[in-house]
Amino acid sequence: MENNINKVTCKFENKVLEDSFLNEKWLKVRNFYKIMLIGFIIFNFLGIFSLWMQSELKFETIFFYIPNLMLSFIFLFSREKFRKQYIEIAFTLLFSLVIPTWHFLDFERLSNLPHIPVMPIIVPVFMLYLFPFNFLSSFAASSIGFVSSLTLIQNFSSITPPIFGVIYISPYLILIVNKWKSEIESRNDYLKGVTINETKKLMQKTLKRYFGDVLSEKILNSDGVLIGETKWVTICFTDISSYSTIVEYMSPEVAVEFLNEYFNEMHKIIEKHNGQILNYIGDSIMIVFGAPNNLKNHEEIAVKCAIDMKNKLKELNQNWIKNQLARYWKNHGIEKISVRIGIHTGNVIAGNIGSENMLQYSTIGDVVNVASRLEKANKDFNTEISFSHEIYTALTEELYGKSKLSGEITLKGRTAPTKVYSV
């Protein structure tokens, strides 16, 4: 993308970037412009009222106020799109009409006021820095104001050209140069901000692809450091039954395509249930519910997620039959792809784990081991979804009633058998 700034117009060469800059600027100044339009209307009405009170109101004088009032009312009540596009032109015209009006009304009286000699400086400062115009509009409006103000000054003959240049022209040129620099700097600052935002979006996109929405956001907001903490969570392990046999005669390309399709659909379901994928291990998925963000009723949510994964797999099997991918496993006596899921809940240590050079968000604790063992227990009980007694007791009435005791297993390091339930 071309991001050059035109040194004359102070505009981005790239139109998309220029429009984006102007849109952001407009959001900041649109209310200010409304206030100034109201100010112009009040100023003109006060001018007319003042002339009326002094019995100096004539058609010729009113004529000079009419364009100011018309422009002010038109832009104050116009649609925002129109006002946004032409507001700077309008204010340039308003400025160009104000000072000539002063001339016509009472040139002699105005020229004798003590502040008139500094008007050629005050007016450009007002137009260059008070109003958030772009450089060209500021230059046009201030030039009109500068020249018009100069004509208010009488007795130029007493001022020699060098002194005149020092007093008026040099300061004005300095003001113009500073405005030009300020405009360039503001656009450079905006460009830096855009670059930073684009980089952040790219990082977010990349992190999201590898870690998901929740975890990627956590990583960015914590400078990549997620401190270990003890949390009550639900751990879920999934595994494709007979995976080695299924992919044995697949080419690497077909095997990867098959796995990616499976993982992609499972990921959607896991994300829908606010689960966080911790790892892909071959054909296995390790999921946590309740970390890094807290999640109410994560025990039941995990079971519901498992059921949805199982149902989605039925749809995938139909698709694989249609596209003939199923032949790879049907030729080996496997009728369909099935998945084994193990679920357990309890306290874990969750956080970034690894070396200084490579970290991974993970969970540590006996809960992880139990969930893994429950996944394998499906083989013993000829089930697809197995979960612990702790999960069973946390279920609401609907799932509680559908669940049944599959049996008991003895876990390493435990003397008492562990009850296994399925749904």
CATH number where 331 lies? 3.30.70.1230
What is the CB-side half-sphere exposure of residue 206 using CA atoms within 13 A? 7
pLDDT surpassing 60 at residue 106: no
Cβ-contact 44, 68 below 8 angstroms: yes
Cβ-contact 39, 162 below 8 angstroms: no
213 domain residue, yes or no: no
pLDDT surpassing 80 at residue 56: no
Contacts of 123 (CB under 8 A, 6+ apart): 99, 142, 145, 146, 148, 149
The Cα angle at residue 314 between residues 312 and 316, in degrees rounded to 5: 75
Q: 100 and 233: one domain? A: no
Report, as an integer, the average pLDDT of 392-401.
90
Tokens of 148: 């018009």
Residue with structure tokens 């364009």? 67
Q: 182 and 295: one domain? A: no
Report the amino acid identity of residue 279.
N
Sign of CA dihedral 246, 252, 254, 257: positive
For residue 97, what pLDDT is reported?
A: 63
205 domain residue, yes or no: no
Q: Cβ atoms within 10 A of the Cβ of 180, count?
A: 17
Question: pLDDT > 90: what percent of the chain?
Answer: 27
170/193 Cα distance (integer angstroms): 35
419/423 Cα distance (integer angstroms): 14
The number of helices, as runs of H, and strands, as runs of E, in the chain is 14, 8
Listed residue (371, 413, 364) closest to 234, CA to CA: 371
Cα dihedral 71/75/81/84 (nearest 10): 80
Q: Cβ atoms within 10 A of the Cβ of 76, count?
A: 16
114/133 Cα distance (integer angstroms): 29
285/342 Cα distance (integer angstroms): 11
pLDDT surpassing 50 at residue 334: yes
Cβ-contact 260, 355 below 8 angstroms: no
Q: Which of 138, 163, 198 marks a domain boundary?
A: 198
Listed residue (102, 101, 100, 75) closest to 86, CA to CA: 75
Report, as an integer, the average pLDDT of 120-148.
76
Q: 307 and 386: one domain? A: yes
Cβ-contact 57, 51 below 8 angstroms: yes
3 domain residue, yes or no: no
Local structure of residue 167 (DSSP, 8 states): I
Q: 262 and 373: one domain? A: yes
Cα separations in angstroms, 242 against 239, 263, 289, 329:
9, 16, 27, 9
Q: 121 and 254: one domain? A: no
307/313 Cα distance (integer angstroms): 10
85/67 Cα distance (integer angstroms): 19
Rg (CA), the chain: 37
Partnered with residue 386 across adjacent β-strands are 342, 422
pLDDT confidence band for 217 (50 / 70 / 90): low
Q: 68 and 114: one domain? A: yes
Residue with structure tokens 């499906």? 378
Give the best-scoring range by mean pLDDT among 59-73, 129-143, 146-160.
Answer: 129-143
Q: Which of 163, 198, 233 marks a domain boundary?
A: 198
User: Which of 104-118, 176-190, 214-228 shows the lowest per-residue confidence on average (mean pLDDT)?
Assistant: 104-118
- Tell which wins on pLDDT, 298 or 361: 298
231/244 Cα distance (integer angstroms): 35
What is the CB-side half-sphere exposure of residue 366 using CA atoms within 13 A? 7
Residue 31 structural domain: 15-198
160 domain residue, yes or no: yes
218 domain residue, yes or no: no
pLDDT surpassing 80 at residue 237: yes
Q: Which of 198, 217, 238 marks a domain boundary?
A: 198
Sign of CA dihedral 305, 311, 316, 317: positive
Q: 184 and 241: one domain? A: no
The beta strands (E) that lie in 98-161 are given as none
1 domain residue, yes or no: no
- Tell which wins on pLDDT, 39 or 126: 39
- Tell which wins on pLDDT, 45 or 164: 45
218/226 Cα distance (integer angstroms): 8
Count the domains in the chain: 2
Q: 170 and 253: one domain? A: no
Cα separations in angstroms, 173 against 38, 59, 118, 369:
31, 38, 15, 76
117/239 Cα distance (integer angstroms): 87
Q: 171 and 230: one domain? A: no
Q: 337 and 229: one domain? A: yes
Listed residue (374, 354, 365, 373) closest to 423, CA to CA: 374
30/254 Cα distance (integer angstroms): 57
Give the best-scoring range by mean pLDDT among 111-125, 134-148, 270-284, 357-371.
Answer: 270-284
pLDDT confidence band for 391 (50 / 70 / 90): very high
Task: Report pTM.
Answer: 0.57
For residue 157, what pLDDT is reported?
A: 45
Partnered with residue 419 across adjacent β-strands are 408
343 domain residue, yes or no: yes
Q: 331 and 244: one domain? A: yes
Q: 194 and 276: one domain? A: no
Give the best-scoring range by mean pLDDT among 51-55, 118-122, 139-143, 354-358.
Answer: 139-143
74 domain residue, yes or no: yes
